Structure 1
């Protein structure tokens, strides 16, 4: 049996990786776990949550898969990609998928471009149809500063461990990502210790790479990578 743990991002929820999970479920008979990290989800409450709680929760889910599966894969989106890297460095994970993984964050040039488009839609009265506005309105208005500092501490804690990741790794990054810049994917590719690693760019994708228009091609790349012998 193969197990696959999929980890969402900061202030997010399983919906961020669900399209990929559903695709993999259609093409495999693997055992999937898609946890909601402490303080996250639809009724998020990040106040007072320490970053180690996010790591601990992911560790608990991974251990359950390790106990019952012959092979285990870990997929991480954004902050979840950093947690996935930590797990791959410390546990017997067989393959690692990093999606928009946040070794660095905030791409000022793309973010400005996205804000301009949002303002144009607001001026035209089309804000209700602006997906970007709805995705980030909640993140901006409801995320405590202390939680953002915990996220930054998590990244700082995990970065020195990346060289210990030796399992085959696929890194996917959207070229239009306004949250995680291209240099994040490049840094991960250069720093991760795996001999077998691949970096792929999704041309039109913004940050939520599992929801982009090119997700079909991305999902096939992920499946092919995980099925490689």
Structure 2
């Protein structure tokens, strides 16, 4: 039996948990192989100082059954119109069984033309930009539309990992992996969703995300049409 090839596309200043959260979950999928793919084989710095080491480059990467593009406000702003990255994602997605993203990685899929006419989600600060890549925002932590799965911000990638394992190998397998990693979150504060923390949302938009949102809008418009 051939292995189910899972690939995570990484790039400088990605949010590492966007990648490592679902990677940790999906690495436990039976009969699978996990690949971490970048433009070169050099370590890739994340937005928290942790560097990730690719296992493959765009040139050496095998054909993927599942491709996942993580996000990161600064990281995605840096590659959203990088021709080599977008072409790699578009090419691999053409033969993949599942095309997926976490957080603002959705905009990499979008610029590659993969979200046109699709329902999708992304980090809450960027959801209103999804129509710029032809997608319709659906308010959910994980959204499935055909073979495309998109997840919300950062920690939603862990939920995505279990959701797609249930799709691939069944709910029983997903439940076993969930128990194995003891995923039973009980956050200390009820402020993990913008609907429950509107004041904090407004503060973050003005102090952290406004500049990135403007950059995304400009670079998506430069990359159009999809």
TM-score normalized with structure 1 length: 0.44
Higher relative contact order (CA closer than 8 Å, sequence separation 6+): 1
- Quick check: which one's helix share is greater? 1
TM-score calculated relative to the size of structure 2: 0.44
